[in-house]
Amino acid sequence: MAFDFIHAGLQEKQEAGYLRERVCIEYEKDAIICINGEHYLNFASNDYLGMRQHHGVLQSWVEGLAQFGGGSGASPLVTGYTQAHCALESYLEEHLQREAVLLFNSGFAANQAICQALLKSDVQVFVDRYMHASFLDGVMAGKAKFKRYNHNDKQQLSSLLAASSGDKLVATEGIFSMDGDAAPVRDMAEMCRQHDAWLMLDDAHGFGVFGDNGLGTVEQYQLSQQDAPLVMGTFGKAVGTAGAFVAGSQSLVEYLINHARHYIYSTSIPASQAVATLFSLTAISTGNERERLKSNIAFFREQVQQHGFDILPSESAIQPLIIGDPNKAMAFSAQLRQRGIWVPAIRYPTVPKGSDRLRITLSAQHVEKDISVLVDALALARDSV
Ligand SMILES: Cc1ncc(COP(=O)(O)O)c(C=O)c1O
């Protein structure tokens, strides 16, 4: 039979405990989600600041719809590039202190575009072992020579850079999506400068949260365009909308406009989405959401450690609890569900084999009582898994 591998592939996943399934959210308010008629406290969202439900973000989105209509109607090089897209790019250029910014439909598309347009066969790429699939897949699909260095291993990276020549790109996340820890970006920028390499920063999970105005790792560590010539950030997580951007030099952005197929051959994000994204960024810079998130992170870490859990050293909203076995992680997650807590198990291949985990994410929308309920449920689940 044709495409026999589909059935076999699904069976293989099922037997190994790695079959993925979706859940349909019926209703959502603040940190509560409703699934199959049951309500849960949501500790699984990347909406770290609660901006998805921010009144001003929703209102500006509606105003954007009234002004620009529904979809953008064309790719950006045809008629899909409006004043709203331009204003969002300008805000990012000014605040990130970059010459130019380009918007993409998603972080996945932006990472793929970077790889497709820039990673020629004579480029050497050094990628953190924990780098997101959207970048790794892009590198692997291309012709560039690449090596994965051990997670945040500056020494190994330094030796690799010293032994290489030609155009070099070092790719890291600002805040790692599954571990929540930060890359040593200042040291990495210095190392790249010494070896004439470009630092590429995927700040999907730092953007919106860190820095004086919430502009992420670049702002927090004052990384200039020279320090990090290539920055990618997403709007679908802390900013609460969707889409992504690449920031860098004027020539880099012009090159992408002319070579990045994900940009050229795709309908641009709706203008209303750009309006809401810009509103969200300005609201984040003046609001208290980041402070609330920070105190929730501190409270969670204190509580969970008091209950004897070994937790990874993360100062971000991502607080993983390593379980180490896919079936046990699923059972742990199911136990939490029975107690009204939604935390999915994240398993191989999203994370390395043997590091299957609960990926707990905190938000400014949680209150301390929510977090206490979570920690109590974790302790009870531990005793029964
Ligand atoms: C580190 C990282 N980069 C890129 C992406 C892709 O971004 P988007 O969801 O906007 O496609 C994600 C999404 O999970 C991510 O975690």
- What's the confidence (pLDDT) of residue 278? 98
What is the rounded CA–CA span in Å between residue 219 and residue 285? 12
Helix (H) or strand (E) segment spanning residue 304: helix 289-306
Token output for 299: 């409270």
Nearest to 316 by CA among 206, 153, 213: 206
Q: Please confirm, yes or no, whether 85 is among the known catalytic residues.
A: no
| Pairing status of strand 168-173 against strand 124-128 | parallel
Count the alpha carbons within 13 Å of 325 in the hemisphere toward its beta carbon.
Answer: 5
**Confidence label for 111 from pLDDT (cuts 50, 70 and 90):** very high
Q: Does residue 16 surpass a pLDDT of 90? A: no
Q: Where are the domains of the chain?
A: 23-52+288-384, 72-269
Residues with CB under 6 A from ligand 1: 106-108, 111, 132, 134, 173, 177, 202, 204, 234, 236, 244
Query: Residue 380 Cα, ligand 1 centroid: separation in angstroms?
Result: 33
User: For the residues of 65-112, what is the DSSP string, one character each?
Assistant: HHHH-SS--S-TTTT---HHHHHHHHHHHHHHT-SEEEEES-HHHHHH
Provide, rounded to the nearest whole percent, the portion of the chain with pLDDT above 90.
96
Percent of the chain with pLDDT over 70: 100
- How far is the C-alpha of 316 from the C-alpha of 290, rounded, in Å? 11
| Across 47-61, 189-203, 239-253, 347-361, least confident range | 347-361
Average pLDDT (38-62) is 98
Q: Indicate whether 192 pLDDT > 90.
A: yes
Annotated catalytic residue 95? no
Nearest Cα to Cα of residue 271 among 74, 96, 91:
74
Give the active site residue among 45, 177, 296, 363: 177
Q: Is the pLDDT of residue 383 over 90?
A: no
Q: Are 191 and 149 in contact (CB under 8 A)?
A: no
Task: Count the residues in the chain.
Answer: 385
Strand partners, 124: 145, 168
Cα distances from 55 to residues 26, 65, 284, 329, in angstroms, run 20, 15, 13, 36
**Among this protein's residues, is 132 annotated catalytic?**
yes
Q: What pLDDT shows up at residue 247?
A: 98
pLDDT value, residue 147: 97
Higher pLDDT, 188 or 350: 188
Ligand 1 atom showing the smallest separation from residue 108 Cα: 11
What CA–CA distance (Å, rounded) separates 369 from 353? 34
Ligand 1: centre distance to CA 236 (Å)? 8
23-52+288-384 placed in CATH 3.40.50.920: no
Q: What Cα–Cα distance (Å) separates residue 66 from each residue in 17, 103, 183, 281, 282? A: 47, 21, 42, 21, 21
Q: Closest Cα to atom 9, ligand 1: which residue?
A: 107
Tell which atom from ligand 1 comes closest to the C-alpha of 242.
Answer: 10
What is 72-269's CATH topology?
Aspartate Aminotransferase; domain 2 (3.40.640)
